[in-house]
Each structure stands twice: as C-alpha cells, then as structure tokens.
Amino acid sequence: PEEHMPYLLEAIALARRDLRGKVPLIGFSGAPFTLASYMIDPDAGGNQLRLKSLMYREPVIFQLLLEKLTDMVIAYLNAQIAHGAQAVQVFDTWAGTLSAVDYKEFVLPHMVRLFDTLDASVPRILFAVGSSHLIRLMDRTGCDVLGVDWRLPLDESWSLAQFRPAIQGNLDPLALFGPHQYLAGRVRDVLSRVGTRRGHVFNLGHGILPSTPLDSVAFLIDLVHQSRLELGET
C-alpha cells in the first residue's frame, strides 16, 4: 500500500490530524470473499454464479485466490492502522449468500488468519449483511466487534455469539425514512435489547442510503446520545 497508494495513507494521516480526537477515524476494506465476488461476478446481483462455480469446480484455485486476497487485505488494513486509523472494519457484503457449510469450508480459515494477523492495537470489526445463519462461525474469526443487520433482533444475534465480542447494529436503514415517532420506537427497541450489557455500538444494519433525510439522521444521533446519558453511559 505504501508504494501503490501513498495518497490514501497520506489522506488518513491528514484526516486523523484534522479530526483532533473529536471522533474516531475508522478504516475499512472488503473481505476476501466479497472482493473475489466483485472480481469474478461484478454483475451477478447476488447469485454468485461464476464465483460459486469456481468454488465448487476448482476449489484449489479458489482457495489460492482467497489466500492472495487475504494477504492483500491484511497489508492494506495494517497500513491504514499504521497511518492513523483507530479502528478497522471488514465488510463481507456477499458472505450471506453462502451456506454455513460452505462458509466454514471455504471462507472461515482465511478470515481467522486475517484477524489473527491484523494489528490488534485497534478494534477490528467484521460485518456481513444477511448473515444471521453465519453468526456462530463469524464469532470464531477472532474479530473484536461483530456487525449485524436488522433481520434478527439484536439480543438474538448477540446471543448466537454468546455475547463474546462487542456487537454493532442493528437498525434497518429504511427506518430513517419513517416519521420521527416511528423511528424513535425502533431505536428504543434496539437499545432495550442491549439491556445492561456493555459492548454495544449503535449503528445501522447496513449502509445509509444517499437519499436518507438528514433531519432523521440528526434526530437518530441525538436520540441515541440522550438514551445513553439516561442509562449513565458515555
């Protein structure tokens, strides 16, 4: 990364400096399986026909591809950390298209190596959309924080990981398009499922849409902060 993307690493260092500690700077990367998906099946729309065909028909080649991509992700994220990222998140957008059996066989070993090799001086987050059936396996990767989508209630998702890692989520991004009264109810539901447990990072259960009303975003942030203060948290 230092040789091929010095501009990115410089941008991270400058952003860290200019933020002056007001908010943490989070680095990110796609996960090896998701990167392979975009390389081989960029227009698949989720069916992963070419990628899964390679995985089943040529497993040795598939594993070599993921091994190489894992090396690249490790180097990429460690460089971000070295230049100022205070946490890193690995997005496995397409992992949810895999069965638990396939994830365990083809993906989990690479994810374990990834998190085992990443700089552990900062929190390391793993997120995969549509992955409720994979939570127990994702917990075995060694990530510090597990990001979950909105499809399962937060406490149910967390319990599948035995409440071991911290958890991030899990408001449906489209809830931000509803009236504030509805949004408040959904936010409070998420927070109520946390209870008195520590280690919850409130977040959406997937990416925020460009057309999301900004006033709803501000309302959400204020509500979460206020709720945390009422619970005596910071």
The predicted model scores a pTM of 0.93
pLDDT tens digits for range 43-83: 766 678 999 999 999 999 999 999 999 999 999 999 999 99
pLDDT tens, position by position, 215-225? 999 999 999 99
d(CA 28, CA 43): 23
Alpha-carbon distance of 134 to 220, in angstroms, equals: 29
- The pLDDT tens digits of the residues spanning 10-32 come to 999 999 999 999 999 999 999 99
CATH of region 6-147: 3.20.20.210
Helix (H) or strand (E) holding 223, with range, is helix 214-230
**CA end-to-end span of the chain:** 35
Predicted local confidence at residue 231, as pLDDT: 65
Domain limits of the chain? 6-147, 171-234
